[in-house]
A and B are shown apart, each in its own frame.
Chain A
Amino acid sequence: MSPIQFFLRHHREILQATLEHIWLVGLTMIFAIAIGVPLGIVVTRKPWLSKPILGGANIAETIPSLALFGFLLPVPWLGGRADRLAIAALTLYALLPIIRNTSAGITGVDRAVREAARGMGMTDRQILFQVELPLSFSTMLAGIRIATVLTIGIATIAAAVGAGGLGEFIFRGLAMVNDQLILAGAIPAALLALAADFVLGALERRLRPVR
């Protein structure tokens, strides 16, 4: 059977695995953004925290993904359900690019703009929400884009601990020495990553402030 015939015959399962994958990645990105953006802001407000926060995220990033999944297995509430476990680990992975780009975006705002804002009597909160964040959207989005593409890739490994998704085809294909199964997982995953990169990249370009 050719790969195309295989895809057509098993399209429903492939679609379902793709949706599972998107679900894993989607939830992860929601958590990662909800945690990472505020942390990125905190880093700009309290520079002494930048070392521990960025350092911590860096450590999470350095641990090999499979090992991180394995570490979290024994944790009681997480280990019970593989998707919780996977989302927890994936969120830790996605944090670093988001925190880093959020803080870089904010500190990259033109000094003169920040000085004028402060001098005119804007509160720190107003400067954050009306000046710094809008002007750093593009950079933040770059971090989100990187994190998303990263997560789509690492989520394939999540299948090794039972979280499903497109990685499951890959692992099954490896066990059965079946190329088509492997491709059934690998190709959609690659396409997902490319699509995410494209869409978020386009959004990033549209939001880039003109100097």
Chain B
Amino acid sequence: MRLVRAAPAFLLLSLAACLISCSSERNTIVVGSKNFSEQALLGEIVAQHIEARTHLPVTRRFYLAGSYICQQALLAARIDTYVEYTGTALTAILHDPIEKDPSAVFGRVKSEYQRRFGLDVLPSLGFNNTFAIVIRGEDARRLNLKTISDAALHAPQWRAGFGYEFMERPDGYEGLAHIYGLRFAEAPRILDLGLLYRALLEKQVDLVAGNSTDGLLSARDLVILADDKRYFPPYEAVPIIRSETETRHPEVRVAIAELAGKISDEEMRKMNFEIDGQHRDAADVAREFLHAKQLD
């Protein structure tokens, strides 16, 4: 039948396609990231460092839409590595209950990722991008507030502002209010993440929940209250690599491992501000960072 004649053509085409994709650089390392600027910056740091150390070609596949997407991309070998946060890995990928002890969380994530997915979790880059309860600097000094428990005493006179996600998450507002006995004058205002700090500075709200590495925190007179009751889970930034990639190119693991502990919370905030606040290019900021740390 005539269909039979078409079949060899199709076979040839698919064979060609296979060959192209297979030959497509088993040598290229693909670095992924999620879709916000801190992630793009971390991705750039990792990518540039691999390029400098191993001289392997690196492709960037940034702004993937979230943890699930990145995880799938790792499993399907569309990317070789990306930086995840331990708390997110624990709850969103492993579906384990929340843990507070950072080393316990890291240990569990590392062992489970290896066991379930064959993925290698490297030690933290040095910072913890957890939730931050933030108040204005003047209030902190005037009322001598250092911890969230301190602030809880003043909550009834304050208004709070939170992002939508913080309101919805189990490790968000509900748990926080319960653990610290927070009672605000009114129900918290729900604000777009980008507007939270502005509302705080303009005194429309008195307390917000942001991320501890937000750029504005280093540029404005804002204070993060210490989580004395250890309510928030740890979200340490850890690079994750495919085992196959490490087998093919052990030098990649060596390179990425050199970045461990190199970025503090404050350094991350500063770099985030350069990108978000000063609109600098992530690639430039990454390059400067690596140079400053003598990693290039």
Assuming the A-B contacts A164-B76, A172-B35, are A15 and B69 also in contact, with contact meaning beta carbons closer than 8 angstroms in the complex?
Answer: no
B164 within 8 A of A: no
B55 within 8 A of A: no
Chain B residues in contact with chain A, CB under 8 A? Answer: 2-3, 6, 14, 17, 20-21, 24-25, 35, 59, 61-65, 68-73, 75-76, 78
Contact between A16 and B21 (Cβ–Cβ < 8 Å)? Answer: yes
A112 within 8 A of B: no
A162 within 8 A of B: yes
Contact between B78 and A164 (Cβ–Cβ < 8 Å)? Answer: yes
| C-alpha spacing A136/B24, complex, angstroms | 41
CB distance from A109 to the nearest CB of B (A): 17
| B78 neighbours in A (Cβ, 8 Å) | 20, 164
Assuming the A-B contacts A160-B65, A172-B64, A206-B2, are A19 and B20 also in contact, with contact meaning beta carbons closer than 8 angstroms in the complex?
Answer: yes
| A162 neighbours in B (Cβ, 8 Å) | 68-73
Of the candidates B59, B63, B76, which one forms a contact with A172 in the assembled complex, judged by CB atoms under 8 Å apart? B63
- Chain A: residues with Cβ within 8 Å of the partner, total of 25
Contact between B24 and A161 (Cβ–Cβ < 8 Å)? Answer: no
| C-alpha spacing A164/B73, complex, angstroms | 7
Of the candidates B24, B68, B71, which one forms a contact with A15 in the assembled complex, judged by CB atoms under 8 Å apart? B24
| B17 neighbours in A (Cβ, 8 Å) | 19, 22
| A163 neighbours in B (Cβ, 8 Å) | 72
Give B34's nearest chain A residue, CB to CB: A175
| C-alpha spacing A72/B238, complex, angstroms | 29
Contact between B21 and A19 (Cβ–Cβ < 8 Å)? Answer: yes
A8 within 8 A of B: no
CB distance from B293 to the nearest CB of A (A): 27
Contact between B69 and A175 (Cβ–Cβ < 8 Å)? Answer: no
| C-alpha spacing A81/B24, complex, angstroms | 23
A57 within 8 A of B: no
